[in-house]
A = this chain, B = another copy of it.
Amino acid sequence: MVTTRKPLRAAIIGLGRLGERHARHLVNKIQGVKLVAACALDSNQLEWAKNELGVETTYTNYKDMIDTENIDAIFIVAPTPFHPEMTIYAMNAGLNVFCEKPLGLDFNEVDEMAKVIKSHPNQIFQSGFMRRYDDSYRYAKKIVDNGDIGKIIYMRGYGIDPISGMESFTKFATEADSGGIFVDMNIHDIDLIRWFTGQDPVQAYGLTSNIAAPQLADIGEFETGVAQLKMSDGVIATLIGGRHAAHGNQVELEVMGSNGWVRIGEHPDLNRVTVFNDQGVVRPSLQSFGERFDTAFTDEVQDFVNNVIVGKQPEVTVDDGIKALKIAKACQQSANIGKLVDIQL
């Protein structure tokens, strides 16, 4: 719908892989918003934002940006440990906040963050669970909600990165705390399992390994994590996170119902091309979640902008983010201590 309203004025913190994507979308694809400022530590990234995107002002200190700029909304795409303090500062400055997942890594900080968010009920806070915006998940959700597959019995979520990303992950995880394999790779599936079932997990059995990447032990990381969850009303779930896929980016979710199943992303098809070659019949695979979820990333940001314009809080709340984080941490804890872990949300 057309409004004569001026576009929202927005700024972004972080221009890494995902920050760059959001910035490009904000300039080229999202309606009703103008990206006026960007903050990053890397001067090349800031140059890019100025020259390629036409962002007017750039900063290396996010507080300066928030203090100086006349903005309505801020996009936080900085490393996870900074999410809480940035969100708190921005909320207290009266801004609407879009913050990438996960909310943070330290529960005290995240709890404080949630308290501040809830104390500003008229400002929109939205976190980056973009999969809820993806056409395939939404289609599957509708099938489930229609009762077409009966009652949910079991769910299985795979978040497995291509092995080609190992080097960049190692660099990233050496410099910052990734949160561990379950936080880093399974938090979306945890959110989706809660979304599909309407149930929370009550018990977790996590196991981890470094068979595919022994070198990760040096930086306290695990290449693969597997967890089995008992949900509050009887559903059972399996989560697998990993970084070893030879073929590409395997983001697969299965919902087993009493009258049918759905699988989303059974194969990470790159496009609609099938190749017949000396290996057999081949479907090339996607290599990155960015390619996979480009439209969902756009749609979630558009939704945030629309929410800000009409003053509507999003479906996914900060509490959803906290619960997903606690569940991922419980899986990790179980693996660490070698015992079942009861989950209190």
Contacts and interface: CB of A to CB of B under 8 A. Distances in A.
A139 B275 CA distance: 11
A234 B260 contact: no
B246 A260 contact: yes
Interface string A114-149: 000000000000000000000110011001000011
B275 A272 contact: no
A20 B250 CA distance: 36
A67 interface: no
Interface in A132-168: 135-136, 139-140, 143, 148-154, 156, 163
Interface string A240-284: 101011111010000010111111111111111111111111111
Nearest to A160: B256
A175 interface: no
A174 interface: no
B258 A263 contact: no
8 contacts: A2-B53, A153-B212, A156-B238, A211-B234, A260-B276, A261-B276, A268-B281, A275-B280
**Copy number of this protein in the oligomer?**
4
B224 A236 contact: yes
Contacts of A247: 260-261, 276-281
Contacts of A151: 211-212
Contact of A260 (B152, B238, B275): B275
A226 interface: yes
Given A209-B236, A236-B207, A258-B212, A136 B272 contact: yes
A68 interface: no
B258 A244 contact: yes
Contacts of A223: 153
A293 to B, nearest CB: 11
A54 B136 contact: no
A41 to B, nearest CB: 23
A261 B246 contact: yes
Given A153-B244, A154-B226, A228-B207, A276 B262 contact: yes
Interface string A311-327: 00000000000000000
Contacts of A240: 154
A63 interface: no
Nearest to A295: B295
A21 interface: no
A108 interface: no
A273 B264 contact: yes
Contacts of A140: 273
A205 interface: yes
A44 interface: no
A310 interface: no
A274 B275 CA distance: 15
Contacts of A264: 272-274
Contacts of A148: 277
B259 A275 contact: no
Given A240-B154, A280-B283, A259 B274 contact: no
